[in-house]
Amino acid sequence: MYEKLAEYLAQKFKKGKIIEIGVGFNFKAALKLKELGFDVLVVDWNPKAIERAKELKLNAVVDDIFSPQLEIYNDANAIYSIRPTPEMMPHLLKLARIIKTPLYIVPFSTDAVPKCMKLENYKGLVIYKWETKDI
């Protein structure tokens, strides 16, 4: 699943900075994007997750999506989150709108996503997207 998301993003963006928000301890998508040549940054509120990401040679920072440090995200080509909590989703969308950057969410199958996001199916993977043209 995670590698499929990386493939999907690599088809949409040929290079640049891509940020995973709420990475937790699952680094598969970020590592695949890095392998594909992207400048990847992972973000989480948990310092232990960020420490582990750095051990894996990923760029990583601690941040809280509920009160984000905007300078972290300003030069991103895209942001994504895999299985964020429902409480995170409006904040992810708000951040994407503020920095005018596309957002991609792979939700848990039972979670509702913000209504303005569009469903896309990539090789069986459910991805919701909000792109700047959707403003």
Strands 118-122 and 125-130: antiparallel
Q: Is the pLDDT of residue 83 over 60?
A: yes
Calpha distance 133→51 (Å, rounded): 36
Instruction: Give the pLDDT mean for 114-120.
Output: 87
Strands 118-122 and 103-106: unpaired
The CATH number of the domain where 122 resides is what? 3.40.50.150
Beta carbons of 50 and 62 less than 8 angstroms apart: yes
Q: What range defines the domain where residue 23 resides?
A: 2-134
Q: Is the pLDDT of residue 7 over 60?
A: yes
Beta carbons of 47 and 116 less than 8 angstroms apart: no
Instruction: Quote the number of domains for the chain.
Output: 1
Q: What is the pLDDT of residues 24-79, one digit of tens each?
A: 999 999 999 999 999 999 999 999 999 999 999 999 999 999 999 999 998 999 99
Instruction: Give the pLDDT mean for 123-134.
Output: 86
First to last CA, the chain: 28
CA dihedral 94, 95, 97, 98 (to 10 degrees): 110
Q: What percent of the chain has pLDDT over 70?
A: 98
Predicted local distance difference test score (pLDDT) of residue 134 = 56
In the three-class reduction of DSSP (H, G, I as helix; E, B as strand; rest coil), residue 102 is classed as coil
Q: Which two tokens stand for residue 61?
A: 């920072």
Neighbours of 83 (CB within 10 A): 15
Q: Which two tokens stand for residue 90?
A: 């409006």
